[in-house]
Amino acid sequence: MKCIINRRAQFAASHRYWLPELSETENAEKFGLGARFPGHGHNYVLYVSMLGELDDYGMVLNLSDVKQVIKREVTSQLDFSYLNDTWPELQQTLPTTENLARVIWQRLASHLPLVRIQLFESPELWAEYEGNAMNAYLTISTHFSAAHRLALPHLTLEQNSEIYGKCARVNGHGHNYHLEVTVTGKIDPRTGMIADLTAVQNAIDTHVVEPFDHTFLNKDIPHFAEVVPTAENIAVHIRDLLRAPIRATGATLHKVKLIESPNNSCEVYCVEPEAQPVESGIEEPNLVEV
């Protein structure tokens, strides 16, 4: 049986977004606060995902061995470093989160059976890389607070209550929604960026956070006058709102994840994932994340 295992590691490092071929003014315009001298730092959290067959001892790999590989090849070299001056790859292409994830993959690929590198720059920003040339994913996490009521206008209160339970109560209820927007694209070989991060953040704020925050969705957002604002429908609407603005930044919207509460969340993709059919008599391999 195949199984995916994940190993967590961390390191602290600083970096600066600065290209010597650009002037100080041009760097400031392109990278904003990231261009400030002498740079800024992060407590990076790294997740290394590996795929393999379970052995007779119930393991894919010995995690003690995995730990030592990650330490030797990555964290011992990056911890308390200035990333721009460490590896040659980070001198050629700036050490953005997405490019750093890519380079870490390259450093580990010959030692571990990788399927994914996930690198958190902060709880609000992280990148994923899956070994696909210069293509990577970047996720921005944000939030808004809003109220809603789940009810179909042509049904009675009793009928809506049968479908939606307490969520059908006439005065509605509220949530602190957490929103994760994942974009994808090619890493620029010089800037290390999929797209202008500030532009992506501004698109999310302008088209979603500001219009949705502190609203009663059914009454304040025209779309939900006729569409029941379930978490699923809200996520679909956010996806549709962001497609064009994200495209304008140079990236492609990949996924929207809406977390309504610690117990409930949903994800919608720009290209919907296909269900994997299981033909009669054919056993599909089990993929288990540990």
The count of other CB atoms within 10 Å of the CB of residue 1 is 9
Contact (CB, 8 A) for 117 and 49: yes
Contact (CB, 8 A) for 183 and 200: yes
Per the annotation, the verdict on 214 as an active-site residue is yes
Please calculate the CA angle 265-270-271 and round it to the nearest 5 degrees.
110
- How many helices (H) and strands (E) the chain has is answered by 10, 11
The count of other CB atoms within 10 Å of the CB of residue 102 is 26
Record the tokens describing residue 136, joined without a space: 């990577």
Catalytic residue (one of 24, 124, 173, 214): 214
- DSSP characters over 76-117: HHHTTEEGGGSSHHHHHS---HHHHHHHHHHHHTTTS-EEEE
What region does 56 belong to: left with phi over 0, alpha with psi -120 to 50, or beta? Answer: alpha
Longest dimension (CA), the chain: 68
Per the annotation, the verdict on 279 as an active-site residue is no
Catalytic residue (one of 73, 167, 178, 270): 167
- DSSP characters over 114-167: EEEEEEEEETTEEEEE-S-TTEEEEEEEEEEEEEE----TTS-HHHHHHHHGGG
Per the annotation, the verdict on 167 as an active-site residue is yes
Catalytic residue (one of 98, 121, 180, 260): 260
Active-site residues: which are they?
167, 214, 260
